[in-house]
Chain A
Amino acid sequence: MKPKQPDTEFVERVRQELDRGVAHLDPGVSARLSRARQRALARERERKTIWLKPQRLWPAVAIAAALVLFVMLIDYRTLPKSQLTSGIEDVEILASSDNPDFFDELDFYHWLAEEMDRAG
Chain B
Amino acid sequence: MDSFLASVERRAFRIAQMAVGSTEDALDIVQDAMFGLVKRYADKPPSDWKPLFYRILMSRIRDWYRRRSVRNRWRAWLRNIRYEDRSEETDSIETLPAPPGGNPDAQVMIGDAMAALDRAIQALPLRQQQAFLLRAWEGLSVRETAKAMKCTSGSVKTHYSRAVHTLRDELGEHWP
Contacts and interface: CB of A to CB of B under 8 A. Distances in A.
Contacts, number: 86
Contact of A29 (B13, B133, B175): B13
Interface residues of B, number: 35
Contacts of B117: 14, 17-18, 21
A29 B27 contact: yes
Contacts of A26: 105-106, 109
Contacts of A37: 2, 5-6, 9, 34
B81 interface: no
Given A10-B164, A32-B27, A37-B6, A15 B38 contact: no
B34 A40 contact: yes
Q: Is the interface of A mostly helix, strand, loop or mixed?
A: helix
Contacts of B118: 21
Given A26-B109, A40-B38, A43-B38, A33 B30 contact: yes
Interface of A: 4-5, 7, 10-11, 13-15, 17-18, 20-22, 24-26, 29-30, 32-34, 36-37, 39-41, 43-44, 47
22 contacts: A4-B168, A11-B164, A14-B117, A14-B136, A14-B137, A21-B14, A22-B14, A25-B106, A26-B109, A29-B13, A33-B27, A37-B5, A37-B9, A37-B34, A40-B5, A40-B31, A40-B35, A41-B1, A41-B2, A41-B5, A43-B38, A44-B39
